[in-house]
Amino acid sequence: MARSQQLGKAQYETLAAFRYALRQFIRFSEEAAQAAGITPQQHQALLAIKGFPGRDRVTVGELAERLQLRHHSAVGLIDRLVAQKLVTRAPSATDGRQVLVGLTGRGETALERLSAAHRRQLKQIAPELSQLLKQLGCVNE
């Protein structure tokens, strides 16, 4: 009986299949964003803003954290979004240091369509992903 640290061929295949599925999803997402006329990163940002827990505007720092970016990389991303009129900046009322970023009408529209498509896609691949996650969990434990 193999020790739990030792991975067999099946485990490698499962891990690889999981990453393969993720890459395909990400590729789908990138192509959908490009087709919608925005970059994948911009799409990610719109979703992170609109989908922020309990709010629909976020500070620059919050966005950076949600996107796993450095602060000043987020600033640059927001600059590009503002230039495309997809989001707006507004100073926070409660803390003058903070800037709140929210979607414009254009941003909302773009995100709506993309999100519907993503939800459809995810529903398609969810069974496979769940299956792979389950496989990773239960063998050789």
Binding region for its own copies (CB under 8 A): 5, 7, 9, 11-20, 22-24, 27, 44, 47-48, 50-53, 56, 66-68, 111-112, 115-116, 118-119, 122-123, 126, 129-130, 133-134, 136-137
Q: Which of 90, 138, 139, 85 is nearest to 109 (CA)?
A: 85
- E-strand ranges in 25-136 read 57-59, 87-91, 99-103
Measured from the CB atom, the residue of 11 and 88 that comes closer to its own copies is: 11
Q: Please state, in angstroms and rounded to a whole number, the distance separating the CA atoms of residues 12 and 118.
A: 28
**Interaction partner, residue 71 (DNA, its own copies, none; CB < 5-8 Å by kind):** DNA
Restricting to residues 13-52, name those near DNA by CB under 7 A.
39-42
Whether 49 and 73 have beta carbons less than 8 Å apart is answered as: no
DSSP secondary structure string for all residues of 19-44? HHHHHHHHHHHHHHHHHTTS-HHHHH
**Interaction partner, residue 73 (its own copies, DNA, none; CB < 5-8 Å by kind):** DNA
Report if residue 88 touches DNA, rule: CB under 7 A. no
Contacts with DNA, residue ranges (CB under 7 A): 39-42, 59-62, 67-73, 75-80, 89, 94-99
